[in-house]
Amino acid sequence: MGKVISIEKCYYCNKELAERDMVIKPIPLVCKNGKKRNYKRKFHINCVEKFVAEHEDEFETKKETSEWDKVYKYFKLDVLCLPEDVNLPDFATKRLLGLRVGKFMPNAINTRVIKQGHSFSTILATMKLANIEIQKAFKTQAFSDMQHKINLAMFVINKHIDFVEERIRKVEEINSKNQEIEFKKPTVAKYIKKSKKRNFDFI
């Protein structure tokens, strides 16, 4: 048989992709360590927008990543009081990502944008609320190792997280009710347009 010629295919429609129609877009995927990496994918010019529209959830990853950064930093600097130049222990990263997916520790690689467990913003709000209690607990206990200390912090966070989740849900409910009222006002068309605007990072 003839030799295999590599043909570029579109990531969206899987059809042949000529150089002149090609757009390369980085797609954010989450690695094992919880850090985001962008993988470049090739699209037809017409396909990239369809892809983004259909995968809106995954593009929320961008927002999630910055929220995860805040969770990571707060837990490292304010809860465990580790210095800036030290990485958060793997065990802590796994426990925090576990809260995100609603498990003790996540076993799937892609933990982001999963609609179960708690959002990173809920986790962050809970950590801030619980930190005084965590610091008090740290002072009254001796720890054999870091894992033990992390488990105590997670125990206190777990104790409060459902309460915080409920509070946030109620606030969002009130906000969405307010928005419904706003939608009935004639000035709203302009407002919607503005918020729907999206920036593409074509390379």
23 contacts Zn ion (rule: CB under 5 A): no
Residues facing residue 26 across a β-bridge: 40
Which one of 23, 47, 127, 161 is in contact with Zn ion (CB under 5 A)?
A: 47
Residue 55 or 70 with smaller CB distance to Zn ion: 55
The values of phi and psi at residue 22, to 5°, are -85, 135
Least gap, CB of 41 to Zn ion (angstroms): 11
Measured distance CA(108)–CA(138) in Å, rounded: 31
10 binds Zn ion (CB under 5 A): yes
Provide the minimum distance between the beta carbon of 9 and Zn ion in the complex, in angstroms, as a whole number.
Answer: 8
Q: How near is the Cβ of 7 to Zn ion at its closest, in Å?
A: 13
Are 48 and 12 contacting, i.e. CB atoms less than 8 angstroms apart? yes
For 14, phi and psi rounded to 5 degrees?
A: 65, 15
Asked if residue 118 lies in contact with residue 134, where contact means CB atoms within 8 angstroms, the answer is no
For residue 113, the minimal CB distance to Zn ion (Å) is 23
CB of 202 to Zn ion, least distance (A): 15
Does the protein bind Zn ion through residue 42 (CB under 5 A)? no
Total of residues contacting Zn ion (CB under 5 A): 5
**DSSP-derived secondary structure for 173-202:** HHHHHHHHHHHTSTTHHHHHHHHH------
Q: Out of 25, 44, 76, 149, which residue is the one contacting Zn ion (CB under 5 A)?
A: 44
When asked if residue 13 is in the footprint of Zn ion (CB under 5 A), the reply is: yes
Cα(182)–Cα(195) distance, rounded to whole angstroms?
A: 14
Q: Which residues bind Zn ion (CB under 5 A)?
A: 10, 12-13, 44, 47
